[in-house]
Amino acid sequence: GENVEQHPSTLSVQEGDSAVIKCTYSDSASNYFPWYKQELGKGPQLIIDIRSNVGEKKDQRIAVTLNKTAKHFSLHITETQPEDSAVYFCAASKVGAGGTSYGKLTFGQGTILTVHP
């Protein structure tokens, strides 16, 4: 089955710096890659996602890049703020053809991001 590796496990940055989290996946058939942010005591919150027909996607201070050949994707956060401190998870999924899609997400192990004021 699919396996997703996420690095680093912890990341500490100063406010205003950039943060990059990287993930690799094993199943070349995976074609949907979301990123989630989880704060203490809350469920994961979808922050950005990318599909395999797109190489890069940006939403304000966050961006995601995908390299299908190398089977890796990355989350970039610019101008980090203390409120960005949380655990970030990458995930991969196989979306079926013919009008159906599957809900099974395979997650990375998570990255604890700490932004120091």
Partner 1 sequence: KAGVTQTPRYLIKTRGQQVTLSCSPISGHRSVSWYQQTPGQGLQFLFEYFSETQRNKGNFPGRFSGRQFSNSRSEMNVSTLELGDSALYLCASRLGSYSGYEQYFGPGTRLTVT
Does the protein bind partner 1 through residue 103 (CB under 8 A)? Answer: yes
Q: Is the dihedral of CA 47, 50, 56, 58 positive or negative?
A: negative
Does the protein bind partner 1 through residue 46 (CB under 8 A)? Answer: yes
What is each CA distance from 40 to 7, 21, 70, 84, in whole angstroms? 20, 19, 33, 12
Q: Which amino acid is at 18?
A: S
**Shortest Å, Cβ 46 to partner 1:** 6
Question: Applying CB under 8 A, which of residues 19, 25, 35, 44 lies at the interface with partner 1?
Answer: 44
Share of the chain residues as helix, strand and coil, in percent rounded to the nearest 5: 5, 55, 45
Does the protein bind partner 1 through residue 53 (CB under 8 A)? Answer: no
Does the protein bind partner 1 through residue 51 (CB under 8 A)? Answer: yes
User: Which chain residues interact with partner 1 by CB under 8 A?
Assistant: 32, 34, 36, 41-46, 49, 51, 89, 91, 93, 95, 99-110
